[in-house]
Amino acid sequence: MSRMQVAVIGAGWAGMAAAIAHTQAGRQVTVFEAARTVGGRARAVQATLPNGTPATLDNGQHILIGAYATSLRLMRLVGIDTDTALLRLPLTLQFPDGKGLQLPDLPPPLDALLGIARARGWGWGDKLALLRTATGWQLRGFRCTPQTSVAQLCASLTPRLMAEFIDPLCVSALNTPAAQASGQVFLRVLQDSLFSGRGGSNLLLPRTDLGALFPQAAAGWLEQSGGFLATGKRVQRLQSLPGGRWQIVSANSHTGGDALPASFDHVTLACPSWEASRLVTALASTPGFADAHRWARLADGLRFEAITTVYAHASGARLRQPMLALRNTAAHPAQFVFDRGQLDGHQGLLAFVVSASDGDRQQIEQQVLEQATAQLALAPLKVVQTVVEKRATFACTPGLQRPRMQVIPGVQSLTACGDYVEGPYPATLEGAVLSGTAVAGRV
């Protein structure tokens, strides 16, 4: 019997995870990717440092945590040495002046208890308020009503805790301000990170670019396993064939175009939500696919948040830790700064992350440089490159209804995966690979 032919549209983290899972299930997989490179919204970009040295950076600085079990498993599967590729640190939200939270290397909940007790710059009123509130969350099973925002969830906390703990934690995990972010999703992230076992809350900082961290190695694994990867090949439409099969109508390919199957038994949409919506909307006029409109409307209804990463350089610039939290204001928009010299060896290069950004590129650059001078006391920095990912993540708001993995009721041969698809996590790398892995089980 011939193997099931599966098309995966999109070679981001979700798409490559789906391709691996389908392959492990014994299916013949072909991945279509519109770009010339893999990785989607977590990929490598090229830059040049002021001294002329070429540097491979990222389209956005990402943080993983120890609880990201599926991401770590897949990295190891495709040959990544995670102990080398990721710098593991206890959870820390410390500022340049040393104030803030840093958890010790202890099993939960001792790490959180001791970390809160030792937090610098917090009074005992702050610490007791956090312990009381966190205990209440745990007793309620880390659940709240779907319409509760993070700000409402944390109403009993002090202004200092909101500014120095909840706000930076929320914007880093959900890329949505606390007043607008889903309390239920926030609690799920806290539960899985702080109470998933020793090391679950650890920060895992990439020591290599995001392309090399997983998607490039996954592409190699796929091809070695007999799959196909066609880059530079944008899918224009899906065409339903008799017997429940599909034809992929696409533009000319950059690679892998000659050996592609003529039709497929199953299609997994792993492209961004707006591309998936375009393809699904076009199916609505096909007999039996009238329900396609509902899925497409949910995908179209998602609101997006931007992330701006400003890479700046100065000879000798170095942070006292690989990552620091920054005090975020309207005039100083960055929430975090990373020392790439301590991560990937690009000495003097800092990455400033502005989550949920909405300003002009040049204005953000100027504000970040002023913030660096004011909060880091560094020599004048020079901007190397600024990456604005306008639709970096969906806005993870209370009660948000996300599209399901099953695109059209009754049509088993068409599924979708991605960080935006219905699931427990916000738009994270782990959310993407969890969705990609799960989709293979729906076939």
Write down the pLDDT at residue 259.
Answer: 63
- The reply to whether 410 and 384 lie within a common domain is no
Whether residues 37 and 57 fall in one domain? no
Q: How far apart are CA 247 and CA 75, in angstroms?
A: 31
32 with 101, same domain? no
**Same domain membership, residue 122 and residue 100:** yes
Measure the CA–CA gap between 414 and 375, rounded to whole angstroms: 51
What average pLDDT does the segment 182-209 reach?
Answer: 91
Q: Are residues 144 and 230 in the same domain?
A: no
State residue 288's pLDDT score: 79
Domain boundary among 373, 394, 415: 394
- 142-179 tens-digit pLDDT: 999 999 999 999 999 999 999 999 999 999 899 999 99
Residues 384 and 297 in one domain: no
Domain boundary among 172, 198, 224: 198
Tokens of 409: 């009721």
Same domain, 329 and 233: no
- Residue positions counted in the chain: 443
Domain that holds residue 25: 5-41+211-302+398-442
- 17-27 pLDDT per residue, tens: 999 999 999 99
Domain co-membership, 101 together with 192: yes
Q: Are 201 and 91 in contact (CB under 8 A)?
A: yes
Closest CA to 211 of 430, 27, 418, 58: 58
| Mean pLDDT confidence for 274-300 | 91
Distance in angstroms (rounded) separating the CA atoms of residues 200 and 118: 20
Spacing of C-alpha 426 from chain mean position? 8
Confidence of residue 257 (pLDDT cuts 50, 70, 90): very low
R_g of the chain computed on alpha carbons = 22
Instruction: Give yes or no: residues 97 and 194 share one domain.
Output: yes
In tens, the pLDDT along 42-89 reads 888 999 999 898 999 998 888 999 999 999 999 999 999 999 999 999
Structural domain ending residue among the three candidates 138, 172, 198? 198
Residue where the block lists tokens 């041969």: 413
On whether both 190 and 105 belong to a single domain, the answer is: yes
What was the pLDDT predicted at 253? Answer: 45
> How far is it, in rounded angstroms, from Cα 179 to Cα 148?
10
Does residue 172 share a domain with residue 103?
A: yes
Q: Is 395 helix (H, G, I), strand (E, B) or coil?
A: coil
Give the number of domains in the chain. 3
Tell me, what CATH number does 357's domain have?
3.90.660.10
Question: Does one domain contain both 249 and 104?
Answer: no
What predicted TM-score, i.e. pTM, was given to this entire model? 0.94
Q: Report whether pLDDT(95) > 70.
A: yes
Q: Identify which of 111-115, 239-243, 251-255, 269-273 has the greatest average pLDDT.
A: 269-273
